[in-house]
């Protein structure tokens, strides 16, 4: 997830964890600890440069600092650093216990949020090096900004600070709408819900607001996971007449601010043709209310006719790739072999390999130029050992 969402959740967790006794520590001490812990796993961004781009970012971000073992190490280091601070050393044991709990929960919240989207995590390394994907939450989700941001805004001590923060939160979905990512109707619904939610929060205590933020966000994410399961089943049903081989994976991403719309990528292995096929499209889980052609994500692709599925699922041109070609690249090019530790929907075209998950009609941050024989033999440094998501395509 984006760092704003992590920070807002960390602040809400801090309000819940903060003692309410007369000798309670200042809110700032717990708030900083919560926000810091909720963002700390992203410190892997500091060392992505040890491996040449784009591999450094692809392999090291959401890498070792996003594993459960890594979280334990970070919790120990952060607790040690905080233990050396005079304000923390003066806390009574029961207040310090709350602070250590906040740090642990804040770190774990980062892992849980990141596990919700199609980017993936591998939390059980070194015992299990596979990627795990939630396929349910968009990385930039305005509804989470609303549900977490409104209660956090109430924590500000001055009215002008609340208004400034709420204005900042309002600008974000407007910017996404201007970019065509969030439709204006969804922005209007967000603003209306924000007014109602803000009025409700005004009647609660600070801790009640924080609990409401956490509970509402958890409920929203739970709904997204339910819709993701439904979208997966719908996609498989609608593609059954088209797919000739085995469906290996279904990649799902909801439109930000509009969970009725989902971007889908289906990876098919067609052993008869010696190919793998990437089917991409836009699915509406409520076509009676919103046709897939009206989804924001639809504007990033060109539809192809499919009368049977078009009312619920609009498909784009399928990408057919030779399996032997991908295996040959994996075997002879150590750069591609490393890239395939990340790539979930690999597409080779025009002398480059990229991940279709992040395709918006051009090259993206996953794009890597293929190297000629001599350059391909010179391998990049400091590689990881994640299990390739498409190991099912590399097997002979």
According to the model, what pLDDT value does residue 307 have? 45
pLDDT of residue 362: 63
Alpha helices in the chain (DSSP H): 3-17, 27-39, 55-60, 68-83, 86-89, 93-114, 142-154, 159-178, 184-201, 206-239, 323-332, 334-339, 373-377, 391-394
In the chain, the N- to C-terminal Cα span, in Å, equals 36
What are the C-alpha distances in Å from 315 to residues 43, 51, 242, 283, 307? 38, 37, 11, 9, 10
Q: Which residue in the block uniquely carries the two structure tokens 């399996």? A: 323
- Residue 302 has what pLDDT? 57
Q: How many residues does the chain have?
A: 396
In this structure, what DSSP letter does residue 63 have? S
DSSP secondary structure letters along 110-160 = HHHHHTTSSS-B-TTTTT----B----S-SS-HHHHHHHHHHHHHT-SSHH
For residue 300, the model assigns a pLDDT of 74
pLDDT at 319: 93
Distance CA 1, CA 39 (A): 10
Q: pLDDT tens track of the chain, all 396 residues?
A: 899 999 999 999 999 999 987 666 778 899 999 999 999 999 999 999 999 999 999 999 999 999 999 999 999 999 999 989 999 998 999 999 999 999 999 999 999 999 999 999 999 999 999 999 999 999 999 999 999 999 999 888 888 888 899 899 999 999 999 988 999 999 999 999 999 999 999 899 999 999 999 999 999 999 999 999 999 999 999 999 999 999 999 999 999 999 999 999 999 999 999 999 999 999 999 999 999 989 999 887 655 545 445 689 999 989 999 999 999 999 999 999 999 999 999 999 889 999 999 986 667 899 999 987 666 568 999 999 999 999 999 987
Closest among 335, 337, 326, 319 to 393, alpha carbons compared: 326
> For residues 182-198, b (16+ Cβ closer than 10 Å) or e, as one string?
bbeebbeebeeebeebb
**Residue among 249, 381, 396 nearest 328 (CA):** 396
SS3 300: helix
Q: Per-domain residue ranges for the chain?
A: 3-223, 321-394
- Written as six digits, the tokens of 327 are 């295996």
Q: Which of 52, 54, 38 shows the shortest CA–CA distance to 1?
A: 38
Q: How many CB atoms lie within 10 A of CB 2?
A: 15
């Amino acid at each position: 997830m984006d760092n704003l969402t992590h920070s807002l959740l960390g602040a809400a967790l801090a309000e819940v964890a903060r003692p309410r006794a007369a000798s309670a520590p200042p809110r700032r001490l717990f708030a900083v600890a919560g926000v810091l812990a909720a963002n700390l796993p992203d410190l892997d961004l500091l060392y992505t440069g040890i491996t040449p781009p784009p591999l450094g970012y692809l392999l090291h971000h959401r890498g070792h600092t996003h594993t459960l073992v890594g979280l334990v190490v970070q919790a120990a280091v952060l607790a040690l650093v905080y233990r050396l601070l005079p304000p923390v050393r003066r806390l009574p044991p029961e207040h310090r216990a709350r602070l250590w709990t906040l740090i642990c929960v804040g770190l774990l919240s980062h892992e849980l949020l990141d596990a919700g989207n199609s980017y993936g995590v591998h939390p059980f390394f070194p015992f299990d090096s596979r990627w795990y994907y939630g396929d349910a939450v968009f990385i930039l989700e305005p509804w989470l900004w609303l549900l977490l941001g409104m209660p956090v805004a109430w924590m500000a001590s001055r009215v002008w600070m609340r208004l400034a923060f709420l204005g900042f939160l309002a600008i974000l979905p407007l910017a996404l709408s201007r970019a065509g990512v969030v439709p204006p109707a969804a922005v209007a619904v967000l603003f209306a819900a924000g007014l109602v939610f803000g009025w409700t929060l005004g009647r609660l205590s600070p801790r009640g607001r924080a609990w409401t933020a956490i509970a509402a966000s958890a409920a929203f994410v739970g709904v997204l996971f339910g819709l993701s399961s439904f979208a997966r089943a719908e996609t498989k049903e609608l593609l059954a007449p088209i797919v000739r081989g085995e469906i290996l994976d279904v990649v799902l991403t909801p439109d930000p601010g509009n969970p009725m719309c989902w971007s889908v990528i289906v990876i098919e292995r067609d052993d008869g043709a010696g190919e793998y096929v990437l089917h991409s499209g836009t699915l509406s889980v409520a076509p009676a209310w919103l046709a897939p052609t009206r989804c924001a994500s639809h504007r990033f692709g060109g539809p192809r006719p499919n009368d049977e599925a078009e009312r619920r699922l609009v498909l784009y041109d399928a990408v057919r790739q030779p399996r032997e070609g991908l295996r040959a690249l994996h075997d002879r090019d150590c750069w591609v072999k490393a890239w395939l530790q990340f790539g979930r929907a690999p597409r080779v075209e025009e002398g480059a390999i990229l991940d279709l998950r992040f395709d918006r009609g051009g090259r993206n941050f996953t794009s890597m130029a293929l190297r000629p024989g001599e350059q391909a033999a010179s391998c990049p440094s400091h590689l990881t050992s994640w299990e390739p998501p498409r190991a099912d395509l590399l097997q002979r």
